[in-house]
Structure 1
Amino acid sequence: MPDSYADLSRFYDLVMTSGYYDYDAYAQALLDRIGTGRGLLELGVGTGLVCDRLLALGPADLRLTGIDHTDSMLVQARGRLGGRARLLREDVLDMSFPSAFDVAYSVGGVWYIVQDGEESWLSSHLMEEEDNAAALANLAAAVRPGGSLLLCVQGPHRPHERPLPGGLVYTQHVDVDSEGRYTKDYYISRQETVLAHQRLRFRLFPMKTADQLLERYGFHFQSSDGVLWQYARR
């Protein structure tokens, strides 16, 4: 995967904590779903915001591992979390873990669910089906049988703009082609001067296609509650 958030990383926390995500809600939903599992793997740990809330709200014996492929994000995550979580520079296409994790989860990371009314899709930052297959095979090897994969729910991707603290403005532009491949441009600006620009690409898979792909690698749909979708690792 490309170094997805290299340019946006210095503004990432400001964008994400000013209304983009409700991290307490995601963390509590995750904690409600993990049961007795204590070994957690975050797919796309970013700057460590989800891990931080899990450690604040969850039991003291949580064992958190977060992976990301963007060095600048991991630097911030290590500053935030210190030694409270294991943070690794890993790409899901290459990662290799023993079957040791009780739960893997993604809050807007590699995969997540997009819902628009009654319709849902699996969103992936991996554009090709063969890359998704390879990454899910690696994930299946990392999550123990009987464990879970938890994917957060987001709304549809649309162009919008909103103010940020400090006189900054966040803007996103979204384009999509006929095959459901999206290009999303993020801008941080002040007084019409662009301070940072990041381009990300992702793809939406219809849920029938997504479920077939997930099933192929041992992840069976269990339930959804509007915040998370849960898949059981067979």
Structure 2
Amino acid sequence: MPDSYADLSRYYDLVMTSGYYDYDAYAQALLARIGTRRDVLELGVGTGLVADRLLALGPRDLRLTGIDHTDSMLAQARGRLGDRVTLRRKDILDMSLPSAFDAAYSIGGVWYIVEDGEQSWLSSHLMEEEDNETALANLAAAVRPGGTLLLSVQGPHRRAGRSLPGGLHYTQHVAVDAQGQHTKDYFIEDQGVVLAHQRLRFRLFPQPAADKILQRCGFHFQDRDDVLWQYTRR
């Protein structure tokens, strides 16, 4: 995967903490479902915002490992988390990790769930079904049987914007091509001057198709709520 947040990374925390995500709500929901599991893997640790809240709200013996493919984001995560979390630069398509994790989660990372009314999709930054199977198989090899995979829930991608501290402005534009593949453009502007622009592509797999992919890789649906979907590693 390319270094997909290289341009946006210097403004990432500013955007994410301005109301984009409720990190306390995600951390509390994760901890409730992680339960007594202690060896936990974050897929797409970013700048460490989720991990930081888990450490603040969770048990002292929680052992977190965070992976990301973006050097600029990992540099910020190291500054925030220090040695409290094991951070590794990994591309999930060729990732090799020991089978050492009781739980893994993705909060808007490689995968997450998009819900719109009664419909739901698995959103993936991997565009090809074959790549998703490869990546999920790599993940399954790292999660112990009986372990859990937790995916965050988000609403549909739409054009949006918000003001940021310091007089900056954030906007996102979303386009869908004939094959149903999505392109999302992020802009940080200062009085109409673009300071940063990042383009990401993702694909939405309808939930029945997504569940078949997950099942082929060893993950079976277990439960869901408004914040997280939970799969069990069989």
Cα offset, 1:188, TM superposition: 0.0
Q: Secondary structure at the match of 1:91?
A: coil
**Aligned-partner Cα distance in 1 for 2:80–2:180:** 36
Q: Secondary structure at the match of 2:130?
A: helix
Runs of at least 5 residues in structure 1 that lack an aligned partner in the other structure: none
**Aligned-partner Cα distance in 1 for 2:189–2:171:** 8
Matches within 5 A, 1:122-161: 122-161=122-161
Q: What is residue 55 of structure 1 aligned with on the other side?
A: 55
Cα offset, 1:133, TM superposition: 0.7
Contact 1:180 1:205 in 2 (8 A): no
Please give the root-mean-square deviation of Cα atoms over the aligned residues, in Å: 0.6
**Aligned-partner Cα distance in 1 for 2:190–2:105:** 35
Code of the residue aligned with 2:103 in structure 1: it is V
Cα offset, 1:27, TM superposition: 0.4
2:80 is the counterpart of 1:90: no
Cα offset, 1:225, TM superposition: 0.5
**Aligned-partner Cα distance in 1 for 2:161–2:35:** 39
Q: What is residue 199 of structure 1 aligned with on the other side?
A: 199
Q: What is residue 211 of structure 2 aligned with on the other side?
A: 211
Runs of 4+ in 1 over 3 A off after TM superposition: none
1:134-161 Cα distance to aligned partner (Å, 9 max, x none): 0011000000000000000001000111
**Aligned-partner Cα distance in 1 for 2:198–2:15:** 13
Cα offset, 1:180, TM superposition: 2.3
Code of the residue aligned with 2:151 in structure 1: it is L
TM-score of the superposed pair, with normalisation by structure 1: 0.99
1:2-51 Cα distance to aligned partner (Å, 9 max, x none): 10100000000000000000000000000000121000000000000000
Matches within 5 A, 1:22-37: 22-37=22-37
Runs of at least 5 residues in structure 2 that lack an aligned partner in the other structure: none
Aligned length: 234
TM-score of the superposed pair, with normalisation by structure 2: 0.99
**Aligned-partner Cα distance in 1 for 2:57–2:8:** 28
**Aligned-partner Cα distance in 1 for 2:155–2:50:** 19
| Percent identity between the two aligned chains | 79
Q: Secondary structure at the match of 1:41?
A: strand
**Aligned-partner Cα distance in 1 for 2:180–2:82:** 39
Residue range with higher mean Cα deviation, 158-167 or 80-89: 158-167
